[in-house]
A = this chain, B = another copy of it.
Amino acid sequence: MKPERQLDIFLAALRGSDLRITPSRRAIVQALLCAARPLSAEELCHEACRTHPGVGLASVYRTLEALQSFKYIRQVQLGRRVFVFACMDESQHAHLICSVCHQLTECDLSAIAGTFQQSIGRVGFQPATNAIEIVGTCSACQ
């Protein structure tokens, strides 16, 4: 999905709640959606400042919390640093995250989605998202 479309979806979710659309929030979400790899809160703050100077780290965390409550992003811990990434995809797929270079690769799982859901659903478990994060090493870093 295109970042612009994802941005619209998030803004609509904001309107649906008692949350307001501010330049800071817009900059933070936009930066997150356009990032090619998972970003830390501080990196995200720095990026957001490029389009809206002066964005505070606290606002970044607040926005991330909102995004999490909407189930639009998830936190992933790599080693000793925490990275945050966005994903609003509807399809069942995996995020292959390299612990060395932090590159994120999307991996389609539609072929096994059915059986997968079945295995999980058998015990009555409800996944928070339909994207699975798998940490490891990418082909370039092995």
When the two chains form the complex, which single residue of B96, B109, B115 contacts A111, counting CB atoms closer than 8 Å?
B115
Known: A75-B77, A77-B82. A127 touches B119 (CB 8 A): no
Known: A96-B120, A107-B119, A120-B94. A125 touches B112 (CB 8 A): no
Bound CA span A105–B125, Å: 9
Bound CA span A128–B99, Å: 9
When the two chains form the complex, which single residue of B132, B135, B138 contacts A134, counting CB atoms closer than 8 Å?
B132
Bound CA span A82–B80, Å: 11
Q: How large is the interface on A (under 10, 10 to 19, 20 to 34, 35 or more residues)?
A: 35 or more
Any B CB within 8 A of the CB of A17: no
Bound CA span A122–B108, Å: 11
Chain A residues near B (Cβ < 8 Å): 74-77, 82, 94, 96, 98-99, 105, 107-109, 111-112, 115-116, 119-120, 122-128, 132-139, 142
5 closest A-B pairs by CB: A124-B139, A127-B136, A96-B125, A128-B136, A112-B112
